[in-house]
Amino acid sequence: MRANSLALRLFLWATGWTVVILIVTGVALSTLYRHAVERAFDRRLDVYLRTLVADVASPEEGSDKFPQSIGEPLFELPLSGWYWQVTRLDKKQDQHSSRSLWDSGLPRLPNDGSVSSAEAREGYADGPEDQKLRIVERNIDLGDDGRYLIAVAGDASEIDDETRGFDRAIGMTFAALAAALLLTTALQVRFGLAPLKRISASLAAIRSGRAERLKGEFPVEIDPLARETNALIDANREIVERARTHVGNLAHALKTPLSVIVNEASARGNDPLAHKVLEQTDIMRDQVARQLERARLAARSGVIGTLIDVPPVVTALARTMEKLHRERDVAIDVEVPAHAHFRGERQDLEEMVGNLVDNACKWAQSRVAIEVIADRSAVDSGKEDTSANGGKSRVRIIVDDDGPGLSPAEREQVALRGARLDETKPGSGLGLSIVVELAGLYSGVLTLGTAPIGGLRAELALPGG
């Protein structure tokens, strides 16, 4: 899958947002849970604080306001992390604390003025042995009996342990949820974009000639695209057909006036004006033929290709050319595989191969050989092809004759429009140039060389299927 594909972009987008949402949700839930644990912990400390306040405000007789007991053994264990401390504020060095504090004391929480001195304050502080403590403290004023600061502290590691346990549980839960969501997203992207992949494959089949239209059922979101694509294909074919019709009509319309001019000029015998008219008429015929041929080729280049079987076309042309050149007794040998295909139009293939075979028969002594090679290695082997044809299959049509052949300079000349090396041979000199132009429209190539049987070899490479 390429990095710029729609499916990959959708998957990465969904993955990114899923991860971000889960992380934000996880942090929010962890924060809310920690606050809930802190509130529960503070309520527990507040119970001990109220007990101390009650003992200080209503002590047993003879106890001198010293708290007797709050019913928690942890306050008796040295450095247990659970401490209480009662400090009289109107007398110096009048302080009582739980046995768990030993000779240490509890730090005071800062008061920023947001709560009154009579209200309970909560917060974190470092206690003995660098313990992290959660402290609740409160000021009470007993009038003549004095003012006191009462503080109760608990080991904050309980809050941290409880929060870490929750974080681990929610982390594993969200990891499983993320995996499920990503799997669901991947399936949604895969199956949601499947119609687009079908359209892409169908378009490739249309271009290669294996199909003519987009077929099948598509979702309501994709169906308008398929309908418009089919309409575009139909409109393209109609435009090409109209162009061909107009070209044919124009050729027919010009043929008659030119013939009349030639006949009138020929009837005047040796009149210099008649010779000039005939000369210019020949030029006009050549220009008209050239422009009509260019228009016809351009019209064909716009049509979507089809897949044509090469064997019947080549075989039929060989039999036809044998009949046309029967008086010269030219034998035509044909070797063509059954699986050879041409990706284009049948009439174009017939015109290209027909011109090559006709030219070979004109110059051959007694023999013409036609060989067709279907090069499917780039497709069937599955290997990457770095050649100019981009890894697409090709069909090569080789036409050899045992005639005199051509020199390199002559080979370049005969491919030019209207060029003729021997005026005694019939024809207009347009054959090979038409083959070159038609082949170029299909990204094909015509190569001239020396045939193994002694004459000219014409090798035509075209897109296959």
Categorize the per-residue pLDDT at 114 as very low, low, confident or very high, splitting at 50, 70 and 90: low
> By the 8 A CB rule, do 458 and 448 touch?
yes
Residue among 250, 41, 65 nearest 153 (CA): 41
Instruction: Supply the pLDDT for residue 423.
Output: 42
Residue 430: pLDDT band by 50, 70, 90 thresholds?
A: low
What's the confidence (pLDDT) of residue 297? Answer: 60
The whole-number average pLDDT for the span 133-143 is 89
Residue 69: pLDDT band with limits 50, 70, 90: low
Q: For residue 152, name the pLDDT band (cuts at 50, 70, 90).
A: very high
Q: Mean pLDDT score of the chain, rounded to an integer?
A: 80
pLDDT exceeds cutoff 60 at 305: no
Cβ–Cβ under 8 Å, residues 67 and 52: yes
* CA 141 to chain CA mean position, Å: 76
**Mean pLDDT of all residues in 219-231:** 82
Residue 168 reports pLDDT greater than 90? yes
Grade residue 318 by pLDDT with cuts at 50, 70 and 90. Answer: very high
What is the model's pLDDT at position 33? 95
- Identify the pLDDT of residue 458: 93
- Confidence label for 30 from pLDDT (cuts 50, 70 and 90): very high
Contacts with 222 (C-beta within 8 Å, 6 or more apart), sequence order: 195, 196, 199
Is the separation of the CB atoms in 184 and 178 below 8 Å?
Answer: no
Res 136 pLDDT > 70: yes
Between β-strands 367-375 and 331-335, what pairing exists: parallel, antiparallel or unpaired?
parallel
pTM: 0.48
pLDDT at 76: 86
Q: In this structure, are residues 208 and 264 in contact, taking their beta carbons and an 8 Å threshold? A: no
Query: Which pLDDT score, from 0 to 100, does residue 98 have?
Result: 87
From CA 358, how far away is CA 399, in angstroms rounded? 10
| Per-residue pLDDT reduced to its tens digit, 340-398 | 889 888 888 998 999 999 989 988 999 999 999 987 644 344 333 433 344 468 899 99
Average pLDDT over residues 197-213: 77
Q: State yes or no: pLDDT of 25 exceeds 90.
A: yes
Cβ atoms < 10 Å from Cβ of 78: 11
Q: Is the pLDDT of residue 59 over 60?
A: yes
Q: How far apart are CA 375 and CA 370, in angstroms?
A: 16
Higher pLDDT, 410 or 86: 86
pLDDT at 272 over 50: yes
pLDDT band at 271 (very low <50, low <70, confident <90, very high): confident
More confident residue, 194 or 51: 51
Task: Name the percent of the chain lying above pLDDT 70.
Answer: 82
- Of the segments 21-30, 108-117, 243-252, which one has the largest average pLDDT value? 21-30
In 305-463, DSSP assigns E strands to: 306-309, 331-335, 341-344, 367-375, 394-401, 445-450, 456-463
Residue 199: pLDDT above 90? Answer: no
Q: Torsion angle of alpha carbons 421, 424, 425, 429, nearest 10°? A: 50
Phi first, then psi, for residue 122 (nearest 5°) are: -120, 155
pLDDT of res. 426 = 44
Q: Which of the four pLDDT bands, split at 50, 70 and 90, describes residue 425?
A: very low
